[in-house]
Each structure stands twice: as C-alpha cells, then as structure tokens.
C-alpha cells in the first residue's frame, strides 16, 4: 500500500498527521494532513473502481474554487487518471470544444455549474459526493512520474484552445522551484484566491504549500474586501499570497487598506501580467514584501526575486528576478543564436518543469520546441546581473484581469458574423482590468452593424473577459505586403483615438 502513496501529502500525513493542511474558507471545513490523505485516498479508490488503475482516463471538473477540487486533483494522481480543470467562465460552446479535445470519462461539478455541465454530454458527478468516498487505491494505481497527469487548457494563437500536458515530475519541479525561492516551509500559510484551473492557483498557491508541509486556505475567488480582511486577520496568519498586479492595485485602493496589517506577509508574489515598478516600490516602501516573477502553464514557476534585500527589489522593479534552482534559460535571436546581456531576443527555457508538449497537437509541439528548449514566444532580455526583463508578451496576446486573451480567437468569432469583411483585435490599456480588447472591423458592402450587436455576438461565443470592450468601424486595417495585420500600428492608432476621446 505504501507504494501507492508516494506524494507530499502522504509524507506529511506520516510525519505531522495533525498539522493543518487545507481549509475551505467559504464552508469553514478544515483538513489535517491525516484527514486530507484519507480524503484523497477515498476519492482515488472510487475513481479506480470506475476507471481502473493507472487508466490515463481524463477526469474533468467544472467548479468555482473549493477544497473538493484540490482533493479531486490529488485523488486523480493517486488513481492514475488525468486531471482536467475547466475554466467555469467559458461559454458552453467553448467548454464543449475542450470536452471534445480532452475526452473525459467523468465531469465533476459544483452547484453553480450543474446546468452547464448537464449539457456537455459527459457522465456527471456532484463534487459533494466526494465527502462520502472512503477506502484506498491499490498499489498499482499510480502512473509513472513522466506520464501525463494534468491538462491545463490555455488559449492558442490559432484560436483553438490547447491542453498543456503536465506530468507529476513537471509539477514537482515547478513547485520545488517556488518552495526554494520563496521561503516556504511547515509554518507557511497560503491564501488561494487564484482559480484552480490556472497554474497559479493549482500549483503556486496550492500544491506548493502542500509540498513544503504548510497549509492552503482556499476561497471561492478574489473579493477585494474579503481578501483584504483575510490577509490582515491574525487568526489566519497568512504568510504567502499570489495575485495578478490588478488585484494588488484593487486592494491598495480598497477602503480601510492599512499596510501595517500586511507587513507580516513573508511574500506577496505577482504574475500573469507585468507589475509596474512603481507599484512594487509602493508596496515595498510600505513594508510589504512584494515582487514580480515569471512562469507559464507550459513551464510552471521559473523566475522570482530574491526577497532578502528590499532595496534590491526596488532597484530591479520591473524585472522578473533570477532563475529558480531547476531552470535553464537563454535569450536567442531569430536563428537561435545566444544573445549577450542587454540585447532583446526570444526567451527559451529548459528543465524538468517544462511540459513535454500539447495534447493532440503534434504540429504545435514541433513548433514549440528546439531540441530540449521550449520557445516561449516572449521577447525578453537579461541584464548584466542575470535579472530577466520581459520586453513584450507572446505575439499579440494581451492580458485582461489576469486572463490571457489571444486576438486570433476573438477574430475567429467575429468572422462568423455576417457583414464583417475583416477584423483585427488588439489589447488596449484599461484602468480596471489592465487591458481590454478593442476590435477594428471593416464591413461588407451594404451591411451595417453597431457595437451592441458585435458585443452580443461575441458574448454568445466567448467568455466575458474575451469580449471586446470597444468596437471601431474602420475604413482600413494596416497590413504588411503579405497580408499580416500590423498590430503595432493599430495599437498606436488606438492610443491616439483614446487620447482624443479623453480630451
């Protein structure tokens, strides 16, 4: 039986069984390491009974953040299934595409997602049922460390979502990177507001503390007032927090914000979007240990700031810090030649945390790798001290409220609308969300559309954060001689238009 339970939760259940491991702040339910170990085993035994041991079958979940989702994740690993967390913010059309791609045998859901889940054509299981599952999986249930264990779906530049394959080996090394880089141990308490369908929520904010022997407090999601109260609550004694920069900005502006109540935080990590140097300095000068880092679904945690010297954090504000222990990186030119410090090129990464590839995407896998090196698509540079600066983001992607949005996906939805001859979408600055979409359209002769029609069309096909916030009917869209949209020209045009509007 011991051979079936080789993971950090089982280890801590033996060495510190009564230590706190997991709490669901919405329901008030709590698990010690012993209780969490037993809960994961019970669900794993049930999965083995349904799917067989080491089956590799996909097990999907559609739910807001809750402790049961994390327990299901741990159980899927122990049973040899592949865990597939789905973004509950997506439309039924988008979710159906993910279901078709991953082919899950079971779809777990919460109360809020029951109606949508029922229309996806998969055998359903209410997450509440996990609470009554008992037993233990057989010794042969777990798959090898280098086999697919989790699929994280991210939008693709082609407009089709991609399932990032992560093995337990990838996950372990990605999490140990964060543990070693951010002073994580048995006394660590993480607050998880980030969604469990993202690498930040599932791994950085949840698996990391469980690896280090600490505890994770899961919430249903970010709520500025509740989050601020929780971060400052001495009874919760939170030591680590992960957020996108826009969340940090919201908290700073929240009524009652008092830096003195947050100075106990050992580390406030930000990612998912650039964190302005001015914001980092504002927090650090107020005595709050904040810094930015770099990671991807495909590579887990890769870079972070050394937090022992606040003045260094301020001086290097705007960087993503230094590479973690098990990360190799290069900055290369278009031919794959290494560039010296100070020169901008593409960031390539290698190491045991890097994905083996995308689910069902052989062509994209070939394009994403150069030997053992993963091509991030990010324009970046290293300074003389080895600190990473991400100069531009992957191709034309923009980030709205911490969510990656690829214009090609939005443009594909717009192309379905009768009357549109051409469409181009870019991200533009927004005070609340960081960036939002702006669509430029050329209409077919004799057709007329207004912004409300366009947005309604997109809303029926795309998640809310992908729907363009503004629509411009244009006479032309700038393109190269080969027909590619000149997005940088379009962005300059947009900023000029927005400046004129503000004036």
Per-residue model confidence as pLDDT tens digits over 257-312: 999 999 999 999 998 777 888 889 999 999 999 989 999 999 999 999 988 899 99
Q: How far is CA 218 from the centre of its chain?
A: 16
Q: Across residues 408-434, what is the average pLDDT?
A: 88
Q: Would you say the C-alpha torsion 300, 302, 308, 311 has a positive or negative sign?
A: negative
Domain boundaries, the chain: 1-13+32-143, 398-502
Q: How far apart are the first and last CA of the chain?
A: 70
Return the CATH architecture of domain 1-13+32-143: 3-Layer(aba) Sandwich (3.40)
Q: Give me the pLDDT at residue 390, please.
A: 85
Q: What is the CATH number of domain 398-502?
A: 3.30.300.30
| pLDDT exceeds cutoff 90 at 448 | no
Q: Across residues 399-407, what is the average pLDDT?
A: 86
Write the CB contacts of 305 (distance below 8 Å, at least 6 apart in sequence). Answer: 291, 292, 293, 312, 313, 316, 319, 320, 321, 322
Percentages of the chain per state (helix, strand, coil), in multiples of 5? 35, 25, 40
Q: Torsion angle, CA of 295/356/213/27, rounded to 10 degrees?
A: 80
User: Which of 166, 164, 220 has the alpha carbon at shortest distance from 196?
Assistant: 220
Please indicate whether the domains covering 1-13+32-143 and 398-502 agree at the CATH topology level.
no
Residue 500 — pLDDT band, cuts 50, 70, 90? low
Give the Cα separation of 422 and 411 in Å (integer). 9
Q: Across residues 316-340, what is the average pLDDT?
A: 94
Q: Give me the pLDDT at residue 484, please.
A: 64
Give the Cα separation of 78 and 69 in Å (integer). 14
Share of the chain above pLDDT 70, in %: 95
- At 117, list the tokens: 């889940």
Of the two residues 82 and 244, the one the predictor is more confident about is 82
Do 420 and 443 form a contact (C-beta atoms < 8 A)? yes
Mean model confidence pLDDT for the chain = 92
Q: Across residues 159-164, what is the average pLDDT?
A: 80
| pLDDT exceeds cutoff 60 at 382 | yes
Give the Cα separation of 57 and 157 in Å (integer). 27
Note the helical H segments in 166-320.
168-181, 199, 208-212, 224-231, 245-253, 277-285, 310-315
Q: Across residues 111-116, what is the average pLDDT?
A: 97
Do 441 and 416 form a contact (C-beta atoms < 8 A)? no
Q: Give me the pLDDT at residue 447, please.
A: 86
| pLDDT exceeds cutoff 70 at 157 | no
Give the Cα separation of 234 and 238 in Å (integer). 8
Do 465 and 448 form a contact (C-beta atoms < 8 A)? no
Residue 481 — pLDDT band, cuts 50, 70, 90? very low
Q: Write down the pTM of the prediction.
A: 0.85
Q: Give me the pLDDT at residue 82, please.
A: 98
Share of the chain above pLDDT 90, in %: 76
Which residues pair with residue 86 across a beta bridge?
62
Do 86 and 113 form a contact (C-beta atoms < 8 A)? no
Q: Give me the pLDDT at residue 155, please.
A: 60
Give the model confidence (pLDDT) of 18-76 as tens digits.
999 999 999 999 999 999 999 999 999 999 999 999 999 999 999 999 999 999 999 99
| pLDDT exceeds cutoff 60 at 158 | no
Q: Across residues 330-358, what is the average pLDDT?
A: 95
Q: Give me the pLDDT at residue 480, please.
A: 57
Q: Pick from 125-134, 419-428, 452-461 the range whose average pLDDT is largest.
A: 125-134
């Amino acid at each position: 039986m011991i051979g079936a339970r080789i993971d950090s939760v089982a280890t801590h259940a033996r060495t510190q069984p009564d230590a706190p491991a997991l709490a669901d702040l919405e329901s008030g339910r709590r698990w010690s390491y012993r209780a969490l170990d037993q809960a994961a085993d019970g669900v794993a035994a049930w999965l083995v009974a349904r799917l067989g041991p080491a089956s590799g079958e996909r097990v999907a979940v559609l739910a807001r953040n809750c402790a049961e989702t994390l327990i299901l994740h741990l159980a899927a690993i122990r049973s040899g299934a592949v865990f597939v967390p789905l973004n509950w913010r997506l439309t039924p059309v988008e979710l159906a595409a993910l279901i078709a791609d991953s082919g899950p045998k079971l779809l777990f859901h919460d109360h809020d997602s029951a109606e949508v889940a029922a229309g996806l054509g998969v055998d359903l299981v209410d997450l509440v049922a996990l609470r009554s599952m008992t037993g233990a999986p057989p010794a042969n249930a777990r798959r090898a460390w280098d086999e697919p264990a989790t699929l994280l779906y991210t939008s693709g530049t082609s407009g089709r979502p991609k399932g990032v394959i992560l093995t337990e080996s990838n996950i372990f090394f990605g999490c140990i990177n964060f543990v070693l880089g951010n002073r994580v141990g048995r006394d660590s308490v993480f607050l998880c507001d980030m969604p469990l369908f993202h690498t930040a929520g599932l791994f950085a904010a949840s698996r990391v503390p469980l690896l280090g022997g600490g505890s994770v407090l899961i919430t249903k999601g970010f709520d500025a007032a509740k989050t601020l109260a929780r971060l400052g609550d001495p009874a919760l004694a939170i030591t680590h927090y992960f957020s996108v920069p826009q969340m940090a900005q919201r908290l700073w502006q929240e009524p009652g914000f008092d830096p003195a109540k947050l100075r106990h935080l050992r580390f406030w990590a930000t990612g998912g979007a650039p964190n302005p140097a001015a914001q980092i300095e504002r927090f650090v000068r107020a005595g709050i240990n904040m810094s930015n880092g770099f990671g991807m679904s495909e590579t887990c945690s890769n870079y972070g700031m050394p937090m022992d010297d606040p003045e260094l954090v301020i001086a290097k504000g705007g960087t993503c810090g230094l590479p973690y222990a098990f990360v190799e990186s290069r900055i290369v030119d278009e031919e794959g030649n290494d560039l010296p410090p100070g020169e901008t090129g593409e960031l390539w990464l290698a190491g045991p945390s890097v994905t083996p590839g995308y689910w069902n995407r052989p062509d994209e896998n070939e394009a994403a790798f150069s030997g053992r090196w993963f091509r991030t698509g990010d324009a970046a540079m290293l300074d003389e001290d080895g600190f990473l600066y991400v100069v531009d983001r992957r191709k034309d992607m923009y980030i709205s409220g911490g969510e990656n949005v690829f214009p090609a996906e939005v443009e594909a939805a717009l192309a379905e609308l009768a009357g549109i001859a051409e469409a181009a979408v870019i991200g533009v600055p927004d005070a609340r969300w960081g960036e939002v979409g702006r669509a430029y359209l050329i209409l077919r002769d004799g057709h007329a559309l207004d912004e409300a029609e366009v947005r309604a069309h997109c809303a029926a096909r795309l998640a809310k954060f992908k729907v363009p916030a503004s629509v411009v009917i244009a006479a032309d869209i700038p393109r190269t001689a080969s027909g590619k949209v000149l997005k940088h020209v379009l962005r300059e045009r947009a900023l000029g238009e927005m400046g004129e509007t503000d004036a």
